[in-house]
Amino acid sequence: MDFKISDELESMRKMAYEFAIKNIKPTMEEDEKEHKFRPEIMKKMGDQGMFACLAPEKYGGLELPEGHMAATLMAIEVARVSPSWGLPFNLQMNGPQNVLLKFGTEEQKERYLPGLIAGTSGGCFAITEPNSGSDVASMKTTAVEVDDGYILNGTKTWISGVPYCDCGIVYAMTDKAAKHKGMSAFIVDFKTPGITQRAIHTKLGLFCAPTGEIFFEEVKIPKSALIGKPGQGFAICMTMLNFTRLSSAARAVGVAQSCIEEACKYANEREQFGQPIGQFQMIQEQIGRMSVEHEAAKLLVYKAAWQKDQGINNTLETSMAKYYAAESANFCASEAVKIFGSYGFSSEYPVERFLRDAKSYQIVEGTSNIQKMIIAQFALGYRKA
Ligand SMILES: Cc1cc2nc3c(=O)[nH]c(=O)nc-3n(C[C@H](O)[C@H](O)[C@H](O)COP(=O)(O)OP(=O)(O)OC[C@H]3O[C@@H](n4cnc5c(N)ncnc54)[C@H](O)[C@@H]3O)c2cc1C
């Protein structure tokens, strides 16, 4: 495996960082306080080609040979500046786009992909429900087939992108008795009558990233909204998570990097007992461990991205990267807060926000326990792919 990043990838990485500094950072503190999401930043990301790595040119994409690595490097840089903004970036780049590219009909791709790539249309994916999280197949949302379409009923919660979404991949049961084999995936236009979106305002972090609930009440969608075949939804969902997981891992790497940068800067400035605290061995132990955890997570993430660009099925390595990066980001954020002392407990410095935001990586796209379960199932020989 070649760890050298090509000049083209390096320039995309740099572009994403500079984009975040120029377009996100100036209003970030104010937006975090006001829980404000700015759709205009999505549009600017689209103009910059930041959502275009994977899709073919005919939909507005760039279809880069190293598209997953490019998206990964950009996710790291965006989250390094703003973990909040890493989330919409992940969603737009890896969620509905990937599902449509892999399983969508030509009509679905032509209708939805150009807007998602340009950032003029916001997309989401809706799996989680009030009583169904890790146990995806226990979802209660139904899609009942009628002559000219399906009728959707149910509630989705903790959905990123809501209430700003124009469309989304909605997972619903078309045959409850068949359990996970009775789940189907649909691309749904959120202007369809019967759909309500509502923001969740009680979050711990990621304040500039919208998260909310969607209610489907007797929502009539056409047969052409079905993605793949009836009953293929669970397989589509797992494939999608295999991509969004990588981006979540990348964002965690970005947060860990910022925590180390902030902690080192502070440790060189803050003096106690007549010397910078960075001179104390115990602070060095903390920074040393943070650096190694971060480096290990980053390499796992790079490897998973590289494998995806080679077309290698890497469920195991993606789960390893996601698990390790999530835990590493939480470790680094927690250590950074300790290094800052009481200032680490203050919203005047960014590390308390990193700690709050990093908690999300242990939950989204399958919790850390779920990743460990997948990893152990491979190790024990219970699954092969
Ligand atoms: C910021 C944010 C954004 C999100 N965005 C989206 C989104 O865009 N779309 C979407 O569909 N969902 C989204 N989610 C929801 C997220 O995917 C779920 O919260 C997650 O899958 C866990 O489900 P749960 O919260 O119901 O926890 P539960 O599944 O109820 O788990 C509770 C606890 O039990 C543990 N647990 C559960 N099952 C097992 C098991 N078999 N073995 C060991 N431990 C287990 C879990 O690890 C966890 O610690 C988002 C959540 C957050 C916080």
Tell me the CATH class for 234-379: mainly alpha
More confident residue, 110 or 3: 110
Against a cut of 0.95, is the pTM above it?
yes
Share above pLDDT 70 across residues of the chain, in percent, rounded to a whole number: 99
Q: What is the pLDDT of residue 59?
A: 97
Contacts of 169 (CB under 8 A, 6+ apart): 95, 96, 99, 123, 124, 125, 126, 185, 186, 187, 188, 227, 236, 240
CATH 1.20.140.10 residue ranges for the chain: 234-379
CATH fold for the domain made of 124-233: Butyryl-CoA Dehydrogenase, subunit A; domain 2 (2.40.110)
Residues whose CB is less than 8 angstroms from the CB of residue 290 and which lie 6 or more positions away in sequence, other chains included: 256, 259, 260, 263, 331, 332, 335, 336
Is the pLDDT at 3 greater than 90, yes or no?
Answer: no
Let me know how many helices (H) and strands (E) the chain has, helices first.
12, 10
pLDDT the model gives residue 263? 98
Residue range 164-176, pLDDT digits in tens: 999 999 999 999 9
> Is-contact 145 175, C-beta < 8 A?
no
Looking at every residue in the chain, the average pLDDT score rounds to: 97
Residue 160 CB–ligand 1 contact under 6 Å: yes
Residue whose structure tokens are 């590289």: 306
CATH 2.40.110.10 residue ranges of the chain are: 124-233
169 token code pair: 């991949």
Please work out whether the CB of residue 374 comes within 6 Å of at least one atom of ligand 1: no
Q: Where are the alpha helices (DSSP H) in the chain?
A: 7-19, 25-34, 39-47, 67-81, 83-94, 96-103, 106-118, 233-269, 281-309, 315-339, 351-358, 368-379
pLDDT of residue 4: 82
Domain with CATH 1.10.540.10 in the chain: 7-122
Q: How close is the Cα of 119 to the center of ligand 1, in Å? A: 27
The angle formed by the CA atoms of residues 20, 292 and 80, to the nearest 5 degrees, is: 10
Whether 365 is catalytic = yes
Instruction: Assess whether the C-beta atom of 240 lies below 6 angstroms from ligand 1.
Output: no
CATH class of 7-122: mainly alpha
